[in-house]
């Protein structure tokens, strides 16, 4: 199957939602709530989830959706719900054809809340399931750093389509990897990554109207691993900076890591701006969420990379809303992945 329509709709939907999040990014008040697990969620997360689910349901009504957010807190907070509705109502691409392809506007605030709640699939091993993270790296979003709007289609447990909207990464695939956003106007920034299993990965400028033309991306070859650049989370609670530093040292890597929030890390290594992405668990009991990895996994694999957990197992997207069979993530160019994994195992093994 070619998944041409799925990729097209996913890219348009992520583009439109990313533009909504950018408006919130530049506002001082972001309507932030704290969820039960103490993580933040903003009006940008809710608005983006509503828009993307509306687009998927309009085009693929039978498909299920695993979305990070749900609307119960909004039903108890009319003020916040109305703020989101204002954002969603006025979100549109400049291109009318694209707008129509996304199912036209959401008609009411209630329909918006229902769309948010339609991301409640339990996930699983059968059928077509979309994994949606409307803002990945919400902490980065609040800090003025990197974040990503992430959407993937999983079919019978494996990722077929992945799209990442990264508004704060440079458009230029060859720009050196840096977590800084030193250009507050956003000029020259905003990239949309896409991939279909078996068909390669691409990047294109995020833009405001119809999709601009894309170019193929490839990971960089790494003839000498000691020259590699690796990226990792900003948040020390999300992955073990200590273990990652020990692994880099054992590999002979001398360059400092680049710390950035969100799946912008997967996009960055896929286009060769960085080489490795290491995410070693801090807490044994944390289960990674499928929406935090699905799009990034297929984009890196299609750009010539390998993605496994810290034990070398493939990421298993068929187990529900989380990657409960996996611990950590190791992403690297295919030619050096085994070498990196060996060091990961030996560094983690020596701790036990
Ligand atoms: N203890 C944890 N270990 C790993 N990832 C976590 C942990 N807690 C939250 N996350 C998730 O990591 C993702 C961000 O990753 P990164 O730090 O690489 O940008 C977020 O989706 C965040 O989830 P949440 O959306 O609930 O905040
Ligand atoms: Mg996330
Ligand atoms: Mg999120
Ligand atoms: Mg979150």
Concatenated DSSP letters for 33-59?
EE-TTS-EE-HHHHHHHHHHHHHHHHH
The stretches of the chain forming alpha helices (DSSP H) are: 4-25, 43-59, 72-75, 78-89, 96-101, 109-117, 138-143, 241-251, 264-270, 294-302, 334-349
Domain boundary among 168, 199, 217: 217
Q: What's the ipTM? A: 0.95
Domain boundary among 164, 199, 217: 217
Total number of domains in the chain: 2
Tell me, yes or no, if 45 is annotated catalytic. Answer: yes
Could you tell me if 136 and 31 lie in one domain?
Answer: yes
Ligand 1 atom closest to residue 139's alpha carbon, by position in its atom list: 27
Of the candidates 138, 202, 229, 308, the residue annotated as catalytic is 138
Ligand number nearest CA of 135 is 3
Provide the 10 A C-beta neighbour count for residue 2: 9
286 lines ligand 1 (CB under 6 A): yes
Query: In which element (H, E) is residue 278 found?
Result: strand 276-279
Domain that holds residue 39: 4-217
Task: Output the known binding site.
Answer: 68, 133, 135-136, 292
Cα–Cα distance, 342 to 347 (Å, whole number)? 9
C-alpha 237 to ligand 1 mean position (Å): 8
Could you tell me if 156 and 40 lie in one domain?
Answer: yes
136 lines ligand 1 (CB under 6 A): yes
Could you tell me if 269 and 212 lie in one domain?
Answer: no
Could you tell me if 169 and 318 lie in one domain?
Answer: no
Could you tell me if 132 and 241 lie in one domain?
Answer: no
Could you tell me if 297 and 279 lie in one domain?
Answer: yes
Output the domain CATH number for residue 193: 3.30.540.10
- Residue 81: closest CA among 46, 133, 107: 46
Three-state SS sequence of 216-278: EECCCCCCCHHHCCEEECCCCCCCCHHHHHHHHHHHCCCCCCEECCCCHHHHHHHCCCCCEEE
Could you tell me if 290 and 210 lie in one domain?
Answer: no
- Residue 310: closest CA among 289, 281, 352: 281
Could you tell me if 56 and 149 lie in one domain?
Answer: yes
Ligand number nearest CA of 140 is 1
**Rg of the chain's alpha carbons, rounded to an integer?**
19
- Residue 136: closest CA among 261, 47, 50: 261
67 lines ligand 1 (CB under 6 A): no
Q: What is the pLDDT of residues 273-289, one digit of tens each?
A: 999 999 999 998 999 99
Cα–Cα distance, 301 to 78 (Å, whole number)? 43
Give the closest residue (by CA) to ligand 1 atom 22.
137
Could you tell me if 104 and 201 lie in one domain?
Answer: yes
C-alpha 42 to ligand 3 mean position (Å): 9
pLDDT by residue, tens only, the chain of 352 residues: 699 999 999 999 999 999 999 999 999 899 999 999 999 999 999 999 999 999 999 999 999 999 999 999 999 999 999 999 999 999 988 889 999 999 999 999 999 999 999 999 999 999 999 999 999 999 999 999 999 999 999 999 999 999 999 999 999 999 988 877 766 566 789 999 999 999 999 999 998 888 999 999 999 999 999 999 999 999 999 999 999 999 999 999 999 999 999 999 999 999 999 999 999 999 989 999 999 999 999 999 999 999 999 999 999 999 999 999 999 999 999 999 999 999 999 999 998 7
Tell me, yes or no, if 95 is annotated catalytic. Answer: no
Angle at 205 between CA 68 and CA 193, to 5 degrees: 45
Could you tell me if 251 and 156 lie in one domain?
Answer: no
Domain boundary among 198, 217, 236: 217
Output the domain CATH number for residue 269: 3.40.190.80
Could you tell me if 199 and 330 lie in one domain?
Answer: no
Ligand 1 atom closest to residue 146's alpha carbon, by position in its atom list: 19
Could you tell me if 165 and 59 lie in one domain?
Answer: yes
| Pocket probe mutation, ligand 1, options 21, 237, 292, max atoms within 8 Å of Cβ | 292
């Amino acid at each position: 199957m070619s998944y041409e329509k799925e990729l097209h709709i996913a890219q348009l939907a992520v583009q439109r939602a990313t533009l909504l999040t950018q408006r919130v990014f530049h506002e001082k008040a972001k309507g932030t709530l704290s969820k039960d697990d103490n993580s933040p969620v903003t009006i940008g997360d809710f608005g983006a989830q509503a828009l993307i689910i509306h687009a998927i349901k309009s085009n693929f009504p039978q498909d299920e959706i695993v979305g990070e957010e749900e609307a119960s807190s909004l039903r108890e907070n009319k003020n916040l719900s109305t703020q989101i509705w204002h954002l969603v109502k006025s979100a549109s691409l400049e291109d009318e054809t694209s707008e129509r392809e996304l199912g036209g506007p959401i008609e009411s605030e209630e329909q918006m809340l229902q769309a948010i709640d339609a991301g409640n699939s339990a996930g699983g091993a059968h059928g077509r399931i979309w994994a949606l993270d409307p803002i990945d790296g919400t902490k980065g979003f609040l800090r003025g750093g990197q974040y990503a709007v992430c959407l993937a289609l999983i079919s019978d447990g494996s990722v077929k389509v992945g799209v990442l909207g990264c508004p704060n990464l440079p458009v230029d695939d060859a720009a050196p990897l840096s977590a800084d956003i030193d250009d507050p106007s956003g000029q020259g920034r905003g990239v949309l990554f896409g991939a279909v299993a078996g068909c390669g990965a691409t990047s294109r400028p995020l833009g405001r109207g119809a999709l601009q033309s894309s170019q193929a991306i490839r990971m960089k070859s790494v003839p000498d691993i000691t020259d590699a650049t690796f990226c990792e989370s900003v948040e020390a609670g999300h992955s073990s900076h200590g273990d990652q530093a020990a692994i880099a040292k054992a590999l002979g890597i001398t360059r400092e890591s680049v710390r950035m929030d969100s799946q912008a890390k997967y996009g960055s290594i896929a286009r060769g701006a960085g080489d490795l992405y290491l995410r070693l668990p801090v807490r044994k009991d944390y289960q990674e969420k499928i929406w935090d990895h699905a799009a990034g996994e297929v984009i890196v694999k299609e750009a010539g990379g390998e993605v496994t957990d810290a034990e070398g197992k493939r990421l298993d997207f068929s187990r529900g809303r989380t990657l409960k069979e996996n611990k950590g993530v190791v992403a690297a160019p295919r030619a050096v992945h085994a070498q990196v994994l060996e060091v990961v195992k030996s560094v983690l093994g020596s701790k036990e």
